[in-house]
């Protein structure tokens, strides 16, 4: 196969991948707009200012969000994971938070949520689900549970990072150890050569003093 044909195929594959990425992004944007329009149409929904911009939230979502903020957390609302939007997420530790309202109790909704949760867990995410009644009466407790989960995971991430950093440092030390020994050996040789040269050739001042003493002795 010619080089030109290989290059053409590679270009076609890259174009196809780019088109798929664009289509996926557009699909995610469409789903997000639809979800936000549905949220805006619900009674008592409100537009909430978040770190990522304004987001429409249901009453229980807002209550849980405010409780988490009081705990010092910064959840990202309506975060897209594997094509699904979690109510809140902590991407750094892969924790997704779901606030289930009255509509959750419908059979179809429960089945969809089970499928979504299975997909999220398969992608490596932990899903914490809270019912609307629990959020309504014990939002602070729900936020505390979320905080404990997030902080525990962040501590594990930090511990794993430190462990990996120590392993990397040990590998670097093992790689550099032979070179350091060579450098030390060369330095010792250099010091010996300097000392030998100094012993063989005394400084001019010492030579001059020696000659002066010799003249005085002759006189």
Q: Are residues 3 and 96 both part of a single domain?
A: no
Q: Are residues 19 and 56 both part of a single domain?
A: no
Q: Are residues 8 and 85 both part of a single domain?
A: no
Task: Evaluate if residue 128 carries a pLDDT over 90.
Answer: yes
Q: Are residues 96 and 159 both part of a single domain?
A: yes
Q: What is the pLDDT of residues 186-214, one digit of tens each?
A: 788 877 777 777 666 655 555 455 555 55
Q: Are residues 72 and 107 both part of a single domain?
A: yes
Q: Are residues 97 and 7 both part of a single domain?
A: no
- Contact present, 140 and 67 (Cβ < 8 Å): yes
Tell me what pLDDT residue 3 has: 61
Tell me what pLDDT residue 202 has: 58
Q: Are residues 37 and 57 both part of a single domain?
A: no
Tell me what pLDDT residue 161 has: 83
Identify whether 127 is part of a domain.
Answer: yes
Identify whether 136 is part of a domain.
Answer: yes
Q: What's the structural domain count of the chain? A: 2
Q: Are residues 65 and 152 both part of a single domain?
A: yes
C-alpha–C-alpha distance, residues 103 and 131, integer Å:
11
Task: Evaluate if residue 154 carries a pLDDT over 50.
Answer: yes
Task: Evaluate if residue 132 carries a pLDDT over 50.
Answer: yes
Which residues, other chains included, contact 123 with Cβ-Cβ below 8 Å and sequence gap of 6+? 81, 82
Mean pLDDT over 161-182 rounds to 82
C-alpha–C-alpha distance, residues 142 and 131, integer Å:
10
Identify whether 108 is part of a domain.
Answer: yes
Residue 72 has a CB neighbour count (10 Å cut-off) of: 9
Tokens of 189: 């040789």
In the block, tokens 């936020």 appear at: 143
- Contact present, 48 and 55 (Cβ < 8 Å): yes
- Contact present, 73 and 143 (Cβ < 8 Å): yes
Looking at residue 75, the DSSP 8-state letter turns out to be P
This prediction's pTM = 0.63
The CATH number covering residue 113 comes to 3.40.960.10
Tell me what pLDDT residue 104 has: 46
């Amino acid at each position: 196969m010619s080089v030109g044909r290989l290059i053409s195929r590679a270009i076609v594959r890259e174009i196809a991948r780019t088109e798929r990425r664009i289509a996926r992004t557009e699909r995610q944007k469409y789903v997000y707009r639809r979800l936000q329009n549905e949220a805006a149409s619900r009674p008592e929904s409100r537009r909430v200012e978040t770190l990522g911009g304004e987001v429409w939230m249901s009453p229980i979502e807002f209550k849980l969000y405010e409780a988490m903020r009081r705990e010092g957390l910064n959840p990202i609302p309506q975060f897209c994971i594997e094509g699904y939007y979690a109510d809140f997420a902590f991407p750094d530790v892969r924790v997704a938070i779901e606030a289930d309202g009255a509509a959750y109790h419908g059979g179809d909704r429960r089945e969809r949520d089970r499928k979504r949760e299975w997909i999220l867990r398969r992608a490596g995410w932990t899903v914490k689900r809270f019912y609307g009644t629990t959020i309504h009466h014990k939002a602070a407790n729900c936020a505390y549970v979320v905080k404990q989960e997030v902080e525990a995971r962040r501590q594990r991430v930090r511990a794993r990072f430190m462990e990996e950093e120590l392993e990397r440092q040990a590998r670097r030390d093992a790689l550099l150890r032979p070179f350091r020994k060579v450098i030390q050996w060369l330095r010792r040789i250099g010091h010996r050569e300097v000392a030998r040269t100094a012993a063989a050739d005394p400084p001019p001042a010492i030579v001059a003093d020696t000659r002066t003493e010799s003249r005085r002795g002759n006189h």
